[in-house]
Amino acid sequence: MTKILIIEDEEAIAELEKDYLEISDFQVTIERDGKQGLKTALSEDFALIILDLMLPGMDGYEICKEIRNQKNIPIIMVSAKKDDIDKIRGLGLGADDYMTKPFSPSELVARVKAHLSRYERLIGSTQKQNDIVEIRGIKIDKTARRVYVNGEEKIFTTKEFDLLTFLAENPNHVFKKEELFREIWDMDSIGDIATVTVHIKKIREKIEVDTSKPQYIETIWGVGYRFRV
């Protein structure tokens, strides 16, 4: 459930806002004191904050500035005076929206929803997609370095992961054990091509249903291995 914080000292207004937001399936917390409001805002994970300007303890200007230093979630500031809006704008506190009391609660809910979806789009567009290799039932998340076989995560060591990824990214290509060893282990590594055989065996145990009849990594006798598509 999306969590919203209301910092508002007028109980009737806070409760009215809360009722309307709860009808729209938001989870609402109310703080009536400025200092406590700021503390709650910074310590919990809210999706959006509705912030009154005149508050006991600490005013909305200061609270907005402090929240902005740490979080970029949407902040809607509310005030009883129209003149305050110009002041809020002029101070460049980083509030996303301003409303003058009295306002209709449904207008507030509409703005809350608009800011949340805008914020989510913003976050979504900056989030990088993971680099994923997917072949039949095998999904290799190169970014997270995780392997899933038919949806179930399997734990791979670093070299097992590198070897599987290399083969899967070069399907239908037969690699000699020497080539694979050179590719995955650096030249100074202790070990020899038998290391490759051992690792292939371990990988098969994790990805194959029947290791005696491999469906993914085939052995090409006398040559090496091939990842079959």
Is-contact 39 47, C-beta < 8 A?
no
Phi and psi, residue 174, nearest 5°: -85, 125
In the complex with Ca ion, which residue's Cβ is closer, 62 or 218?
62
Judged by CB, which is closer to Ca ion: 33, or 96? 33
DSSP-derived secondary structure for 72-129: -S-EEEEES-HHHHHHHHHHT---SEEEESS--HHHHHHHHHHHHHHHHHHHHHHSPP
CB of 79 to Ca ion, least distance (A): 8
Q: Is 12 exposed, middle or buried (0-12, 13-18, 19+ CB in 10 A)?
A: exposed
Name the segment binding Ca ion (CB under 5 A); options: 8-16, 37-45, 71-79, 140-148. 8-16
Cβ distance to Ca ion smaller for residue 78 or 167: 78
- Give the shortest CB-155-to-Ca ion separation in angstroms: 55
Give helix 193-207 / helix 177-184 axis angle, nearest 10°.
Answer: 90
Judged by beta carbon, residue 63 or residue 167, the one nearer Ca ion is 63
Q: Is residue 160 at the binding interface for Ca ion, with CB under 5 A as the rule?
A: no
∠ Cα 51 76 88 (to 5°): 85
Q: Cβ closer to Ca ion: 59 or 218? A: 59
Q: Return the residue nearest Ca ion (CB atom).
A: 54
Count of residues touching Ca ion (by CB under 5 A): 3
Q: Residue 52 CB, nearest distance to Ca ion (Å)?
A: 4
**Minimum CB separation from Ca ion for residue 99, in Å?**
13
40-76 b/e with 16+ CB inside 10 Å = b?
bbeeeebbbbbbbbbbeebebbebbebbeeeeebbbb
Least distance CB 101 / Ca ion (angstroms): 9
Query: Is 175 within 8 Å of 217 (Cβ atoms)?
Result: no
Binding to Ca ion in span 26-85, by CB under 5 A: 52, 54
**Residue list 196-215, contact with Ca ion (CB under 5 A):** none
Q: Name the residue nearer to Ca ion (CB basis): 54 or 133.
A: 54
The least CB distance from residue 162 to Ca ion, in Å, is 60
**Residue in 2, 3, 9, 101 binding Ca ion, rule: CB under 5 A:** 9
Site residues for Ca ion per CB under 5 A: 9, 52, 54
